[in-house]
């Protein structure tokens, strides 16, 4: 598996994401936001958490217009894999690669704690290492994680089995407890919780390992 | 030439910040405030003769997220 992790000014989970990919056996390249292309043969692009461009205007809005973002869209449109976590999820909604938008948490607080997630589908290369209905513990750390989606899109997401994870105890007001969603080709995943912060015993939990491992398995055999 | 763009959350989208402001006004003793919506004002200083269609494009591409926000352009 060949992975690239984008670094925006203000990204702060880029190295954690690189480590998680590396541990799953990937070759990882870090790509600066002003670059206009990814290394050739990249299977998956990671869009990391953080506060790209200081969250100015809207979280992820400026990053979504960075030079690298047109390559990101092109990569996704030709069937490449993309994992967007936290600020990365916000960037993916701002680019239009995923539906909906992330708004200020309903309680207005920055929330930083481990949360329980239900695996809502195992039918993707991101979630095939879990069983549908599994409850896993993954940390969240965000101020704008309140996933907002209209009724029509919500029923489409449900009908197409594109809700990847839901919160057991919704911390931020997200519609239908949604914590992560898949694109229609199931190769783009955006989620607010940080699976890359749950891959080592010293993290306090390793429930994120299965995601990176199943990606490595799925993308090697692809 | 100055142009003002107002960006607001669409009607029907819950505005937690507006709600917090409404509660704060209530606790200051202002009665009868039934709703507060909080938005953004963006002032642009653009070349003379810039047309509204261009400003609209700026709004669609960057200034507003039309999934959740609406915008109003005020050409001066």
B51-73 pLDDT, tens digit per residue, is 999 999 999 999 999 999 999 99
For testing the chain A interface, which of B18, B68, B69 should be mutated: the one with the most A CBs within 10 Å?
Answer: B68
Q: What is the pLDDT of residue A28?
A: 97
Of residues A199, A208, A179, the one with CA closest to residue A191: A179
Token pair listed for B15:
């505005």
The one catalytic residue among A33, A75, A142, A194: A194
A156-169 confidence digits (pLDDT tens):
999 999 999 999 99
Q: What is the pLDDT of residue B76?
A: 80
Q: What is the pLDDT of residue B12?
A: 85
- pLDDT (mean) for A167-185: 98
Q: How far apart are CA A75 and CA A58, in angstroms?
A: 24
Give the three-state DSSP class for A93: helix
Q: What is the pLDDT of residue B14?
A: 85
Checking if the pLDDT of B32 tops 80, the result is yes
In sign, the C-alpha dihedral spanning A105, A50, A101, A21 is negative
For testing the chain B interface, which of A103, A149, A181 should be mutated: the one with the most B CBs within 10 Å?
Answer: A103
Could B68 and A148 be called an inter-chain contact, meaning their C-beta atoms sit closer than 8 Å?
Answer: yes
Checking if the pLDDT of A89 tops 60, the result is yes
- pLDDT (mean) for A131-158: 97
Asked if B67 has any chain A CB less than 8 Å from its own CB, the reply is yes
Percent of chain A at pLDDT > 70 equals 99
User: Comparing A97-101, A177-181, B9-13, which segment has the lowest mean pLDDT?
Assistant: B9-13
How many angstroms separate the CA of residue B16 from the nearest CA in chain A? 6
| pLDDT tier at A41, thresholds 50, 70, 90 | very high
Checking if the pLDDT of A99 tops 70, the result is yes
Checking if the pLDDT of A220 tops 80, the result is no
Please name each of the domains of chain A with its CATH number.
2-221 (3.40.50.880)
Cβ–Cβ < 8 Å for A20, A207: no
How many angstroms separate the CA of residue B62 from the nearest CA in chain A? 7
Checking if the pLDDT of A219 tops 90, the result is no
| pLDDT tier at A222, thresholds 50, 70, 90 | low
Q: What is the pTM of this model?
A: 0.94
Each as own residue / partner, the long-range contacts of residues A19-22 (CB below 8 Å, 24 or more positions apart, any chain) are A19/A196, A19/A199, A20/A195, A20/A196, A20/A199, A20/A208, A20/A212, A21/A46, A21/A212
- pLDDT (mean) for A53-60: 96
Q: What is the pLDDT of residue A17?
A: 98
Domain chopping of chain B, boundaries: 2-75
Please name the member of A58, A100, A104 whose beta carbon is closest to the beta carbon of B17. A104
Q: How far apart are CA A36 and CA A152, in angstroms?
A: 35
Please name the member of B62, B63, B65 whose beta carbon is closest to the beta carbon of A101. B65
Q: How far apart are CA A147 and CA A50, in angstroms?
A: 17
Q: What is the pLDDT of residue B16?
A: 87
Asked if A56 has any chain B CB less than 8 Å from its own CB, the reply is no
- pLDDT (mean) for A119-131: 98
Neighbour-count burial for A111-148, b at 16+ CB within 10 Å, e otherwise: beebbebbbbbbebbbbbbbeeebebbbbbbbbbbbbb
User: Comparing A133-142, A167-176, A212-221, B61-70, which segment has the lowest mean pLDDT?
Assistant: A212-221
What is the residue-averaged pLDDT of chain A? 96
- pLDDT (mean) for A13-21: 98
Q: What is the pLDDT of residue B51?
A: 96
Could B63 and A57 be called an inter-chain contact, meaning their C-beta atoms sit closer than 8 Å?
Answer: yes
| pLDDT tier at A221, thresholds 50, 70, 90 | low
Could A107 and B17 be called an inter-chain contact, meaning their C-beta atoms sit closer than 8 Å?
Answer: no
Span B2-75: which CATH code? 3.30.1280.10
């Amino acid at each position: 598996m060949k992975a690239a992790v984008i670094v925006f000014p203000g990204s702060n989970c880029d190295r954690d994401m690189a480590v998680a990919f590396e541990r799953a056996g990937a070759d990882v390249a870090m790509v600066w936001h002003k670059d206009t292309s990814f290394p050739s043969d990249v299977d998956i692009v990671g869009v990391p958490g953080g506060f790209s461009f200081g969250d100015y205007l809207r979280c992820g809005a400026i990053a979504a217009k960075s030079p690298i973002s047109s390559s990101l869209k092109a990569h996704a449109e030709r069937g490449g894999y993309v994992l967007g976590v936290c600020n990365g999820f916000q960037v993916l909604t701002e680019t239009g690669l995923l539906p909906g938008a992330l708004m200020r948490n309903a309680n207005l607080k920055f929330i930083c704690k481990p949360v329980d997630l239900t695996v809502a589908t195992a039918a993707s290369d991101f979630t095939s290492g879990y069983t549908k209905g599994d409850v896993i513990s993954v940390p969240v750390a965000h101020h704008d994680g309140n996933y907002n989606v209209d009724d029509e899109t919500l029923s489409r997401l449900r009908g197409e089995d594109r809700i990847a994870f839901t919160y057991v105890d919704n911390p931020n007001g997200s519609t239908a407890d949604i914590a992560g969603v898949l694109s229609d080709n199931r190769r783009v995943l955006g989620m607010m919780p940080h699976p890359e912060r749950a891959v080592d015993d010293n993290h306090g939990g390793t429930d994120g390992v299965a995601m990176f491992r199943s990606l490595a398995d799925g993308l090697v055999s692809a | 030439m100055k142009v003002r763009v107002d960006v607001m959350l669409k009607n029907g989208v819950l505005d937690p910040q507006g709600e917090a402001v409404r509660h704060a006004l209530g606790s200051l003793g202002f009665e009868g405030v039934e709703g507060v919506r909080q938005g953004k004002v963006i002032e642009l200083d653009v070349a003379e003769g810039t047309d509204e269609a261009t400003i609209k494009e700026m709004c669609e591409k960057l200034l507003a997220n039309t999934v959740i926000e609406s915008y109003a352009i005020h050409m001066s």
